[in-house]
Amino acid sequence: MQLLGFKEKPEKYAVFTFLLALIAGIPAVSGNNGDEAYKRYYVEKACSNGSLTIRLAGTGPMSAGILMATSRTSYSLHMTCTITLVAPHLHYVLVSLRETGFRVDLNGNCKDYLLIDKPICETMTRLDEERHYTSLYNSVPNVMNLIYHTSDDLDNKTLSGYPGFTLIFTAFQKASDLGGSCSGKGNNSDSSFRCSNSYCIWSGLTCDGHNNCGDLSDEETYGNSNCGGKSGGSTVLIILGLLILFLLIIMCVATLLCSKNEAVRRFSTRLRSRTISFLPRLPSR
């Protein structure tokens, strides 16, 4: 049995396979993938014995990451975790808050919080101006300590809509420590990006929707990061993918219609031949 003529015209389906391969390949060449390029850490899963230590690389994908309170929609109660972010020697740590959502009492005091210099519990969404902190002036400048705390107050046993926090952490250097250039002495990376504030980060962290510089200069439409040009290329690829998908749908519909018409034609031919065979023959005179 032949299904929709697949065995009759294999060259058509070779074209289908080619178009599908093009569509599948578009995400691989469309630039940075935002969150997908970052390793994620969840405090509730990774914090053991009350502490969590994350060691950053000086360059490459492991020079940054995403830290979240929980992988669920709301965090758990009765937890305290000391989080230590460690950058390599001659590097520093930058933390950019993306979202916070904790419980507060009637007076606005924190019931649960993330402590960076001071407790943070006010609600902040991604649309707000991002708040950032660095380890530049810490006693150990390549280390930043955070404390995540949720109380055992059970006045709200079923939490809903309390995500805790989401932050981005990044290892960076100062251009002034490298002789004024991000590719100067002491920087082993050949692919550094210089932020407007003279911080040096891995260039692979630009134009990905995250504030790795602290001043958002790694996400600027123009300037050194030139994210407008990069996003323009991605837009072209997306449009190309949609056009290919549209052509693929048209070809599939056309093939189905042709196959249906062919089946109807064959059925009509068989029916006509059977009808003729059943007609009585008139006696010859």
What's the pLDDT band for 24 if we cut at 50, 70, 90?
low
Domain for residue 242, yes or no? Answer: no
Question: Does 226 reside within a domain?
Answer: no
More confident residue, 156 or 131: 131
Give the pLDDT of residue 171: 98
Task: In whole angstroms, give the CA distance from residue 241 to residue 20.
Answer: 10
Residue 75 pLDDT more than 50? yes
How many separate domains does the chain show? 1
Contact 228, 207 (CB under 8 A): no
Give the whole-angstrom CA distance, residue 41 versus residue 222: 32
- Paired tokens of 156: 């709200």
Q: Is residue 68 part of a domain?
A: yes
Residue 87 has pLDDT above 90, yes or no: yes
Structure confidence by residue, pLDDT tens digits, 144-178: 999 999 998 755 555 678 999 999 999 999 999 99
Identify whether the C-beta of residue 65 lies closer than 8 Å to the C-beta of residue 169.
Answer: yes
Q: What is the mean pLDDT of residues 55-72?
A: 96
**Is residue 102 included in any domain, yes or no?**
yes
- Please check whether residue 279 lies inside any domain of the structure: no
Q: Which residue has the higher pLDDT, 211 or 223?
A: 211
Q: So what's the pLDDT on residue 83?
A: 98
Q: How confident is the model at residue 187 (pLDDT cuts 50, 70, 90)?
A: low
pTM of the complete model? 0.70
d(CA 67, CA 54): 10
Q: Tell me if 27 is assigned to some domain.
A: no
- Residue at 237 is within a domain: no
What is the DSSP track for the chain? --STTTTT-HHHHHHHHHHHHHHHHTGGGS---GGGGSEEEEHHHH-BTTEEEEEPPSSSGGGEEEEES-SSSSPPSSEEEEEEEEPPTT-EEEEEEEEEE--B-TTS-BSSEEEESEEE-S-B-TTSPPEEEESTTSSSTTEEEEEEEE----S-SS--S--EEEEEEEEEEEGGGGTTSTTSTT---SSEEE-TTSEEEEGGGTTSSS-SSSSSGGG-SSTTT-HHHHHHHHHHHHHHHHHHHHHHHHHHHHHHHHHHHHHHHHHHHHHHHHHHHHSPPPPP-
Residue 29, pLDDT > 50, answer: no
Q: What is the pLDDT of residue 206?
A: 95
Crossing angle between the packed helical segments 227-278 and 10-25, to the nearest 10 degrees: 160
Residue of 13 and 256 predicted with greater confidence: 256
Q: Which two tokens stand for residue 157?
A: 């046993």
pLDDT at 4: 47
Q: Which two tokens stand for residue 139?
A: 């006693």
Above 90 in pLDDT, residue 40? yes
CB 120 within 8 A of CB 133: no
Q: What is the CATH number of the domain that holds 54?
A: 2.60.120.290
Q: How confident is the model at residue 247, as a pLDDT?
A: 81
Does residue 57 surpass a pLDDT of 70?
yes
- The chain-wide mean pLDDT, for the chain, equals 81
Considering the domain boundaries, does residue 26 fall inside one?
no
By percentage, how much of the chain surpasses pLDDT 90? 49
pLDDT at 254: 73
Provide the domain limits for residue 102.
34-205
Give yes or no for residue 129 having a pLDDT over 70: no
**Better-predicted residue by pLDDT, 278 or 248:** 248
Residue 10 has pLDDT above 80, yes or no: no
Of 90, 91, 136, 104, the closest CA to residue 117 belongs to 136
